Amino acid sequence: QVQLVESGGGLVQAGASLRLSCAASGRTFSTSAMGWFRQNPGKEREFVAAISWNGERTNYADSVRGRFTISRDNGKNTIYLQMNSLKPEDTAVYYCAADRLRYGLTMTTNRAGYWGQGTQVTVSS
């Protein structure tokens, strides 16, 4: 089993920045693609960003491309989501997910074998 713990969420004003972290444990981290997703009450969980198992490829939702950056530090078993120029529409619970397979180049909800508890990001106008 893989355990994921997100942190770094908070309440900020539009234009501010936040850095989310996701600490992974329970199995080998360095061979799994990882991703960030977000969800609002009553709505479906949506893809935000993904990073390949080796960190060489990243993928972003159109709504965050150019503002958010996903990265990973395999030595710390942690991935990050640097969020800049935050907008009110970025408000959501952000979830970290780990690929259920090894050596993945990206992540989608159907590939997510493990989820964290989520961290709330609220952006006021």
The CA dihedral of 89, 110, 25, 118, to the nearest 10 degrees, is 30
Classified as helix, coil or strand, 23 is: strand
- Span 10-33, mean pLDDT? 91
The neighbouring-strand residues paired with 83 are: 18, 68
DSSP string for 55-112: SS-EEE-TTTBTTEEEEEETTTTEEEEEE-S--GGG-EEEEEEEESSSS-SS--GGGE
* 77-116 pLDDT, tens digit each: 899 999 999 999 999 999 999 998 889 999 998 999 999 9
CA–CA separation, 16 and 85 (whole Å): 6
Q: What is the pLDDT of residue 14?
A: 98
Q: What is the mean pLDDT of the chain?
A: 94
Is residue 75's pLDDT more than 90?
A: no
CA pair distance 120, 7, nearest whole angstrom: 9
